[in-house]
Structure 1
Amino acid sequence: MEILFESKNQARGAFRTSLPGLVIKITGRTGAYSVKDFSVNGLAFSSGKEPFNVDEQFEIEFILGKKVLLSNLEAKVVRDIGDGLMGCVFVDLDKYQEERLDKLVLEVQKRMILLRKKNGACK
């Protein structure tokens, strides 16, 4: 039996997920930026009207509600997707940060599966 996982856009090469209400705070900038999706390799966020440049690098933290989920992550803008959406990759993550990101993605996947089962999508 062969199992294939395909995605329309594999630019990040990892499973992407989203979490409603997840934002990032960027060191040196005010406010929070809504996260469209993220993976263990990177994220896409809405920059609003603030300008960001390709190759710009900064430190971020993931925040959900009032809770900091991950901090001290280095991210680098790799493309301006358009409509204020910026694509980033994570840079120089240590083993602990990689494990935490992996765990966060896995937890979101588990919750999505449970919700689908609860709503009758998986039988």
Structure 2
Amino acid sequence: MDIKIDSSSSRGAFRTSLPGLAIRIEGYEDSFPVKDFSVNGLAFTSGKHDFDVDTEFDLSLFLGEKELLSGLRAKVVREIGKGLMGCTFIDLDKYQEQRLDKLVLEVQKRMIMLRKKKGQKS
């Protein structure tokens, strides 16, 4: 499993990636792969769909078929290129913030474990 953390992010939060993480946006049948995410927002691949900057939508986070968190509100803040859209979360409640914090923390823990394991094999 390839998990990545960018601790040098200027966005004020650790950005991490988790293979298989996707979003489902209300009103769309497709799910959209998440490139990376943090407690503040995420970047996703828009595929054949166009999303304008300042577009707001409700989404749910999924890992495979398992819903991790629903009812998140996001706003597109930039088009990164090649169909990659950068979003910030807006109006999160305490529960949503805590769940996002926990998800990021779990990915960080897993990455540390994988690094330790890799170091032991060397």
Instruction: Find the counterpart in structure 2 of residue 111 from structure 1.
Output: 110
> Can you give the 5+ residue segments of structure 2 that lack an aligned partner in the other structure?
1-5
Aligned residue type for 2:15: R
Instruction: Find the counterpart in structure 2 of residue 17 from structure 1.
Output: 16
* Structure 1 CA distance for aligned equivalents of residues 106 and 88 of structure 2: 21
Instruction: Find the counterpart in structure 2 of residue 38 from structure 1.
Output: 37
Deviation beyond 6 Å, 4+ runs, structure 1: none
Aligned residue type for 2:19: P
Alignment of 1:46-65 (within 5 A): 46-65=45-64
Instruction: Find the counterpart in structure 2 of residue 68 from structure 1.
Output: 67
* Structure 2 CA distance for aligned equivalents of residues 18 and 6 of structure 1: 12
* Structure 2 CA distance for aligned equivalents of residues 111 and 68 of structure 1: 20
Instruction: Find the counterpart in structure 1 of residue 3 from structure 2.
Output: none
Instruction: Find the counterpart in structure 2 of residue 89 from structure 1.
Output: 88
Cα deviation for residue 49 of structure 1 reads 2.1
* Structure 2 CA distance for aligned equivalents of residues 6 and 36 of structure 1: 16
* Structure 1 CA distance for aligned equivalents of residues 66 and 20 of structure 2: 11
Task: Look up the SS of the partner of 1:17 in the other structure.
Answer: strand
Aligned residue type for 1:118: K
What TM-score, normalized by structure 2, do the two folds share?
Answer: 0.90
> What RMSD, in angstroms, separates the aligned Cα atoms of the two structures?
1.6
Cα deviation for residue 6 of structure 1 reads 5.6
Task: Look up the SS of the partner of 1:50 in the other structure.
Answer: coil
Task: Look up the SS of the partner of 1:53 in the other structure.
Answer: coil
* Structure 1 CA distance for aligned equivalents of residues 94 and 63 of structure 2: 22
Instruction: Find the counterpart in structure 2 of residue 26 from structure 1.
Output: 25
What TM-score, normalized by structure 1, do the two folds share?
Answer: 0.90
Q: How many residues align?
A: 116
**Higher strand proportion:** 2
Task: Look up the SS of the partner of 1:37 in the other structure.
Answer: strand
